[in-house]
Chain A
C-alpha cells in the first residue's frame, strides 16, 4: 500500500514538473495526452474494474466535446459545459449499458463497436447539433477564478487538475459498494449473482460511469485543441485508444497515464527520432496480444517484475520484510 502511495506521488510529481522540462511544442502534446489519459481511464473503469468490453472511447470523446461546444456557445460558461457534457455522456453511457444487462462478453463488445460506427457516421460526420463536420466543434479556453488558461502550459495544468479529480473520484468509487460489486462481477459473475448482486443495475452503472469519464476526456480534449477534427472521433480512433489502454494496463491509474502518453506522445516522439508514427498501431496490436497472455499490460508487467525482484532480494538475505504480493487487493 505504501509503495503504491509513493508510486502515485512520484507519478503526480512527474506530471506536474513535465512541462518545465520540455520544449513549448511538447506542452501542447502533453496537454492533449492528458485528455487521452482520462479517455483511457474510461476503459479502466469498464474493462479493468467491471470486466466489460467497451470499444467506444472515441465516441464519448466526441459526444463530450460536441455537447460542451454547444452548451458553451449557448451559455458562455465553460464549467457549465463541462458539467452538462459529462451528464449527457453519463446518460448515453447508461443507455448503451442497457444492452449490457442482456449481453455478455463479446456480444456487448460487438454492440459497442457498432455504436462507435453509428456515432461516427450519424453524428460526427453529419452536422450533429448543428456543428459542421468540415470545421469541427470549437471551444474557447476558459478563464476560471480569475486565472486565464489560454497558454499551453496553463491549459496543461487545467487538464491535469481535472484528470486528478477524475482519478480521485474513480479511486474513491472503487471502494464503495458499486465499485466492489463491479470487481465481483469482473472476477466471477455467477458467484456475484448467487450472492445477490443486482448484476444488470451495476452493469448499466459501469457503462454510465465509463461514458461520463469519456465525456470529461472529450471536454478536456476540445479545450486543449480549441477546434477538433472528425478523425479524432472515428471508430478506428476508438479501437486505438482501447488497444493503447490494454497495452499499458487497465487496472491502474499508472496504466491510464501511460496509455495517454502512448496514444499522443509516442507518435510525436517516434517522428522526432525519424521513425514513422504509423508504426504505433502495430505496437498496440503487439501490446494487446502480449497483455492477453501475460500480466496487466506494461504496468502490470513492471509491477510483476518488481515483485519478483523484491522477493529475490528478500530471499537473498533481508529478513523481516513481508513477502511481495502481486496484484494485491488495492489497485490504486
Chain B
C-alpha cells in the first residue's frame, strides 16, 4: 500500500483545515504554507546542529505562538467579514509566505534531513517502512487529541459553540476574542507537524509544499468539513489513488491532477451543501 503515508498526511492537513474552519469560519489556503515555513525553520535548525528530534519539537511547539500572532496581527481584522473575504485574505498569506521564504532563504533548493528512523515492518507479507508508520501514528494521536479537545474539554465545547453560531456563543459568555488566536495556534502547530513529516518525501520547494493545501482541501471537503473520520479516510483514499496513478507508467506524471478531479467531483456532488449554507446566511454574497 504505497501512498498510505502520503494519504495520512493529506488527512492530517484536512483535519487542520477543518479545525480552523469549524471554529473561525476561515477556509485557510495558507494552511500548508504555514507548515512550509516550519519546514524551513526545521531545516535551518538541523543545519545549525540541533538534533532533528528536538528541532521537530521546537518547530511544532513554536508554530503555536506564531499562528496565534498571525491571527492577532492580520486575520483579526477579518473576523466579522464573510467567508469569501476571509478565504481571499488567506490567499494573501499564502503568497506572502512563499515570498517570505524566497526573501530569507533564497530560491535555491535545500536538502531536507531524513530524520525519521529507517527500518521496515512486515505485516503479513506487506512491507511498511517506518516513516509511514510514524506518520500514521501521528495522525492517530492527532485524531485522539482532537476528539478529546472537542468533546471532553470546556475550551473544545466552547470552540464548537463558536463554530455553530458566533454571536450566540458570544452572548452566553464564551470569550471569542481570546479563543480565536488559540485555534489559529493549534492549526498552525498541526500544519507544522504535517509538513515536517511529509517534507523529506516531497522535496524542499516552497511552492510544492505550500500547494499541498490542495489535496488537504480535497480531503477536508470529502469529510464535509465536519467529520474527522471522513477526512482521514478521504486523505488515505486520495493518497492511495495518487500513488497507484504514479505506478501506472503512462499516468505517472499526472498524479497531481488527482486532487483536481476528486475535488471537482466531490464539490459538485455535494453541490451547495458544503461551504454554502454559511455563505447564504450573509445574503449570498460571493
- The answer to whether A and B assemble together is yes
**Complex: A93 Cα to B286 Cα, angstroms:** 19
Kindly name the residue among A99, A276, A281 whose own CB sees the greatest number of chain B CB atoms within 10 A.
A281
Q: Is B47 an interface residue (CB 8 A)?
A: no
From 86 to 132 in chain A, residues with beta carbon under 8 angstroms from any chain B beta carbon are: 99, 102-111, 113-115, 117-118, 120-122, 125-126
Is the CB–CB distance between A114 and B218 below 8 Å? Answer: yes
Is the CB–CB distance between B221 and A110 below 8 Å? Answer: yes
Q: Is B155 an interface residue (CB 8 A)?
A: no
Given A104-B272, A279-B103, CB of A288 within 8 Å of CB of B88 = yes
Shortest CB distance B46–A (Å): 24
Shortest CB distance B285–A (Å): 7
Could you list 7 examples of A-B contacts with CB < 8 Å?
A105-B276, A120-B256, A126-B254, A282-B96, A282-B103, A285-B92, A293-B78
Is the CB–CB distance between A288 and B271 below 8 Å? Answer: no
Is the CB–CB distance between A125 and B214 below 8 Å? Answer: no
Total B residues in contact with A, Cβ cutoff 8 Å: 54
> Using Cβ atoms and an 8 Å threshold, which residues of chain A touch B260?
111, 114-115, 117-118
Is the CB–CB distance between B286 and A52 below 8 Å? Answer: yes
Stretch among B133-141, B169-177, B262-270 lining the A interface: B262-270
> Using Cβ atoms and an 8 Å threshold, which residues of chain A touch B286?
51-53, 104-105, 108, 185-186, 189
> Using Cβ atoms and an 8 Å threshold, which residues of chain A touch B221?
110
> Using Cβ atoms and an 8 Å threshold, which residues of chain A touch B284?
104, 188-190
- Find A281's partner among B87, B96, B257 (CB 8 Å cutoff): B96
> Using Cβ atoms and an 8 Å threshold, which residues of chain B touch A293?
77-78
From 285 to 327 in chain A, residues with beta carbon under 8 angstroms from any chain B beta carbon are: 285-289, 292-293
Q: Is B161 an interface residue (CB 8 A)?
A: no
Q: Is B84 an interface residue (CB 8 A)?
A: yes
Q: Is B117 an interface residue (CB 8 A)?
A: no
Is the CB–CB distance between B92 and A288 below 8 Å? Answer: yes
Given A285-B93, A292-B81, A292-B88, CB of A105 within 8 Å of CB of B99 = no
> Using Cβ atoms and an 8 Å threshold, which residues of chain A touch B285?
105, 188-189
Is the CB–CB distance between B89 and A114 below 8 Å? Answer: no
Is the CB–CB distance between A281 and B283 below 8 Å? Answer: no
A residues contacting B by CB (< 8 A) are: 51-53, 55, 99, 102-111, 113-115, 117-118, 120-122, 125-126, 185-186, 188-190, 234-236, 239-240, 242-243, 246, 276, 278-282, 284-289, 292-293
Is the CB–CB distance between A117 and B91 below 8 Å? Answer: no
**Complex: A243 Cα to B260 Cα, angstroms:** 22
Is the CB–CB distance between B211 and A235 below 8 Å? Answer: yes
**Complex: A122 Cα to B259 Cα, angstroms:** 12
Is the CB–CB distance between B279 and A105 below 8 Å? Answer: yes
Is the CB–CB distance between B267 and A288 below 8 Å? Answer: no
> Using Cβ atoms and an 8 Å threshold, which residues of chain A touch B276?
104-105, 107
**Complex: A106 Cα to B218 Cα, angstroms:** 13
Is the CB–CB distance between B95 and A125 below 8 Å? Answer: no
Given A106-B84, A114-B214, A189-B284, CB of A289 within 8 Å of CB of B253 = no
Shortest CB distance B77–A (Å): 6
Given A106-B84, A110-B217, CB of A289 within 8 Å of CB of B92 = yes
From 200 to 234 in chain B, residues with beta carbon under 8 angstroms from any chain A beta carbon are: 207, 210-211, 214, 217-218, 221
Is the CB–CB distance between B207 and A236 below 8 Å? Answer: yes
Is the CB–CB distance between A288 and B89 below 8 Å? Answer: yes
> Using Cβ atoms and an 8 Å threshold, which residues of chain B touch A126?
253-254
> Using Cβ atoms and an 8 Å threshold, which residues of chain A touch B275?
104-107
Interface of B is mostly: helix
Interface of A is mostly: helix
**Complex: A299 Cα to B83 Cα, angstroms:** 25
Shortest CB distance A289–B (Å): 5
Is the CB–CB distance between B256 and A105 below 8 Å? Answer: no
**Complex: A125 Cα to B259 Cα, angstroms:** 17
Identify the closest chain B residue to A235 (Cβ).
B211
Kindly name the residue among A103, A125, A235, A279 whose own CB sees the greatest number of chain B CB atoms within 10 A.
A103
Q: Is B274 an interface residue (CB 8 A)?
A: yes
Identify the closest chain B residue to A115 (Cβ).
B260
Identify the closest chain A residue to B107 (Cβ).
A278
Is the CB–CB distance between A102 and B271 below 8 Å? Answer: yes
Identify the closest chain A residue to B92 (Cβ).
A288
Is the CB–CB distance between B96 and A285 below 8 Å? Answer: yes
**Complex: A332 Cα to B102 Cα, angstroms:** 37
Is the CB–CB distance between A102 and B89 below 8 Å? Answer: no
Q: Is B27 an interface residue (CB 8 A)?
A: yes
- Chain B 47-87 near chain A by CB (<8 Å), digits 1 or 0: 00000000000000000000000000010011001011101
Is the CB–CB distance between B103 and A278 below 8 Å? Answer: yes
**Complex: A55 Cα to B85 Cα, angstroms:** 14
> Using Cβ atoms and an 8 Å threshold, which residues of chain B touch A188?
283-285
Q: Is B100 an interface residue (CB 8 A)?
A: yes
> Using Cβ atoms and an 8 Å threshold, which residues of chain A touch B272?
102, 104
Shortest CB distance A105–B (Å): 4
Q: Is B40 an interface residue (CB 8 A)?
A: no
**Complex: A55 Cα to B92 Cα, angstroms:** 12
Q: Is B12 an interface residue (CB 8 A)?
A: no
> Using Cβ atoms and an 8 Å threshold, which residues of chain B touch A246?
88
> Using Cβ atoms and an 8 Å threshold, which residues of chain A touch B74?
289
Is the CB–CB distance between B259 and A117 below 8 Å? Answer: yes
Is the CB–CB distance between A99 and B87 below 8 Å? Answer: no
> Using Cβ atoms and an 8 Å threshold, which residues of chain A touch B159?
none
> Using Cβ atoms and an 8 Å threshold, which residues of chain A touch B29?
113
Shortest CB distance A99–B (Å): 6
**Complex: A223 Cα to B88 Cα, angstroms:** 32
Is the CB–CB distance between B95 and A117 below 8 Å? Answer: no
Q: Is B37 an interface residue (CB 8 A)?
A: no
Shortest CB distance B131–A (Å): 24
